[in-house]
A = this chain, B = another copy of it.
Amino acid sequence: MILLASRSPQRRALLGALGVEFRVVAPRADEGEDPLANARAKAREVAERAGVPEGGAVLGADTEVLLEGRVLGKPADAAAARRELEALSGRSHAVRTAICMITRRDQREVVDETRVTFRPLGPAAIDWYVGTGEWRDRAGGYAIQGAGAALVARIEGDYTTVVGLPMGRLAGLLEELGLAPSADGPSPR
């Protein structure tokens, strides 16, 4: 059993696809600037409050979007979303996701980074995307797993790191900790 210390429906969907038993415990930790510190704070807060399951783990995660070293936050309104998309258009940026996994014996942490290159976006494409409203509550102002896929020319790295949970690295960590899904475990969703 894994406790997912995250409110993100995207992380829930990714972990669900893996076929491990888990439930969500929304973290109450304050978030700062650094994704690894945030992932750790979420995992620790949930581990203290809900306890670490025997033979299981608490998993915290946090994601940031960086354009030339500058952190792009969640746009406050449509005008801010437009500015972020204009800044990303035709260029590469980095998406960094940190995970922290706490078991009763161990604490393991990983930071994974993927480069995302946007295609050049004309005003009509930006108007369209801002009009979808999908930028709301998204660091960088887009969701690669939704209509935002049409903004992206290519990525280099793990796609799921951009969505919010680096599945390749996570699967490796689960194997190291003896928590990997197995042939006789629950089915992936």
Contact = CB atoms under 8 A, between A and B. Distances in A.
11 contacts: A17-B150, A18-B150, A122-B175, A124-B175, A128-B180, A149-B167, A150-B167, A152-B159, A154-B156, A155-B155, A155-B157
Interface in A18-55: 18-19
A124 to B, nearest CB: 7
Interface residues of A, number: 44
A81 interface: no
Interface of A: 14, 17-19, 114, 119, 122, 124-125, 127-128, 130-132, 134, 144, 146-147, 149-160, 167-168, 170-172, 175, 180-185, 187-188
Given A122-B175, A175-B125, A187-B132, A167 B180 contact: no
